[in-house]
């Protein structure tokens, strides 16, 4: 029996994957999916609406069609392009489930910074704005309210599915209070309150975030069950609560700061309390969750010494802090909730 010869297709698909990535990011940047939310368009109409050169069509919309990101009725110049079910829901800015904010940020920042991955791997140093300004990413972000709110909204769009799944899958019935440390817009707290009417939640973050959170919480309709707290979790204790959550927070820091935050959560919990982190947890064997592993490389590019981690890593660090029981709850896509329980 003749063996199948090696096929380079997978290698080429990964190696040239930036073709498709850049095409999607550009479509989001141009607002194509939002424009198509008003109705189907021909290639010429797309070019006119987006201010494109005639050379851009039909290649640009046809490439998105082949990538499964647009539909097309008919062939030739009179063909009409439209959104897919997914792009209509997630990439039209008029949709409440819009996640394009994180892709806009990727287009504006991360795409170019990933061009310096080689340098990051050789030096262990961040490859972002800090190379030029010397100013840490978060310091620059938190100094500009409009930019901060844009970032918070981008993260909220991509986090909604995970937080909704957590609110539904985790058993909150034994608990009454929750504090979300690094709570940003208050989204996690609001979704927990929505799914669990008995819960009272606190969204805790740095002082510049509080007005953004208050606005979101008011709009969500939970001003009486979700409150805000202005804290610096490297300077202040966390508000006491039965459940402490951190969504996409631990991976932003080095090991020493990770352990500090875990101890902070332990100290804020009563006996039997639960500490929950939401992350793109890497599988323990470090073989399967490519997104989690690539996110950890992104943390290298962003911060240098920050990294993503496995469930086993989380269990070890939490055991050192005093937690004695653990579980992993799969959420949306490659993300999971890792839970550590304080002894009763």
Residues 264-297 pLDDT 10s: 999 999 999 999 999 999 999 999 999 999 999 9
pLDDT band at residue 1 using 50, 70 and 90 as cut-offs: low
- pLDDT of residue 55 exceeding 80: yes
CATH architecture of 9-90: Orthogonal Bundle (1.10)
The residue ranking higher by pLDDT, 207 or 133, is 207
Query: Averaged over 242-269, what is the pLDDT?
Result: 98
DSSP assignment of 237-291 equals PPPP-SEEEEES-GGGS-HHHHHHHHHHHHHHSPTT-EEEEEE-PBPTTSSS-HH
Q: What is the mean pLDDT of residues 303-313?
A: 97
Q: What's the confidence (pLDDT) of residue 145?
A: 79
Q: What is the pLDDT of residue 78?
A: 95
**Which residue among the candidates 53, 198, 200, 251 is catalytic per the annotation?**
251
At 177 the pLDDT is 98
Residue-wise pLDDT tens digits, 145-188: 788 888 888 888 889 999 999 999 999 999 999 999 999 999 99
pLDDT score of 160: 92
Cβ count within 10 A of residue 290: 13
Rounded CA-CA distance 282/278 in Å is 12
Strand partners, 339: 276, 327
- Angle (CA) 132-134-140 rounded to 5° is 100
> What does pLDDT average to over the chain?
95
Please say if the pLDDT value at position 343 is more than 80: yes
Q: Is 90 exceeded by the pLDDT of residue 144? A: no
**pLDDT at residue 66, as a whole number:** 98
What's the confidence (pLDDT) of residue 141?
75
pLDDT of residue 270: 98
Domain ranges of the chain: 9-90, 100-341
Query: pLDDT of 83-97, one tens digit each?
Result: 999 999 999 999 989
**100-341, what's its fold?**
Rossmann fold (3.40.50)
What is the distance between the alpha carbons of residues 261 and 258, in angstroms, rounded to a whole number? 5
Of 152, 170, 154, the residue nearest 28 (C-alpha): 154
Q: How many residues does the chain have?
A: 344
pLDDT at residue 252 tops 90: yes
Confidence (pLDDT) at 229: 97
What does the pLDDT read at residue 155? 85
Q: In which band, very low, low, confident or very high, does the pLDDT at 321 lie, cut at 50, 70 and 90?
A: very high
Residue 300: which pLDDT band, with cuts at 50, 70 and 90?
Answer: very high
> Based on the number of CB atoms within 10 Å of its own CB, is 76 exposed (0-12), middle (13-18) or buried (19 or more)?
exposed
H or E segment at 329? strand 325-330
pTM above 0.85, yes or no: yes
Q: What is the mean pLDDT of residues 9-30?
A: 97
Band (129; pLDDT cuts 50, 70, 90): confident
The pLDDT of residue 88: 98
Tens digits of per-residue pLDDT, 205-217?
Answer: 999 999 999 999 9
Percentage of residues in the chain with pLDDT exceeding 70?
A: 100
Cross-sheet strand order for the sheet of 274-279: 226-230, 200-205, 177-181, 243-247, 274-279, 336-341, 325-330
Q: Is 251 a catalytic residue?
A: yes
């Amino acid at each position: 029996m003749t063996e199948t010869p090696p096929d380079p297709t997978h290698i080429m698909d990964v190696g040239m994957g930036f073709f498709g990535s850049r095409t999607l990011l550009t479509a989001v940047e141009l607002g194509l999916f939002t424009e198509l939310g008003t109705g189907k368009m021909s290639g010429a109409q797309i070019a006119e609406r987006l201010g494109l050169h005639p050379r851009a069509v039909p290649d640009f919309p046809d490439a998105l069609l082949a990538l499964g990101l647009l539909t097309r009725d008919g062939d030739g110049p009179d063909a009409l392009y439209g959104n897919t079910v997914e792009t209509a829901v997630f990439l039209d800015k008029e949709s409440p489930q819009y996640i394009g904010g994180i892709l806009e940020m990727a287009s504006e920042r991360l795409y170019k910074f990933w061009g310096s991955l080689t340098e990051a791997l050789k030096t262990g140093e961040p490859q972002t704005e800090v190379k030029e300004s010397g100013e840490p990413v978060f310091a620059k972000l938190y100094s500009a309210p409009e930019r901060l709110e844009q970032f918070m909204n981008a993260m909220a769009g991509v986090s909604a599915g995970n937080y909704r799944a957590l609110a539904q899958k985790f058993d909150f019935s034994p608990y009454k209070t929750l504090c979300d440390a690094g709570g940003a817009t208050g989204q996690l707290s609001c979704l927990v309150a929505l799914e669990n009417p008995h819960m009272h939640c606190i969204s805790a973050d740095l002082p510049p975030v509080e007005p953004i959170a208050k606005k979101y919480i008011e709009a969500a309709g939970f001003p009486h069950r979700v409150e805000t707290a202005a804290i610096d979790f490297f300077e202040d204790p966390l508000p006491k609560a039965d459940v402490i959550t951190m969504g996409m927070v631990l991976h932003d820091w080095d090991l020493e700061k990770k352990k500090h935050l875990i101890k902070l959560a332990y100290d804020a919990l009563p006996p039997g309390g639960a500490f929950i982190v939401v992350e793109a947890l890497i599988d323990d064997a470090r073989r399967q969750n490519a997104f989690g592993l690539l996110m950890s490389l992104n943390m290298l590019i962003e911060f240098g010494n920050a990294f993503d981690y496995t469930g086993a890593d989380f269990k070890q660090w939490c055991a050192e802090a005093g937690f004695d029981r653990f579980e992993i709850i799969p959420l949306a896509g490659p993300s999971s909730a890792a839970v550590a329980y304080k002894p009763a």
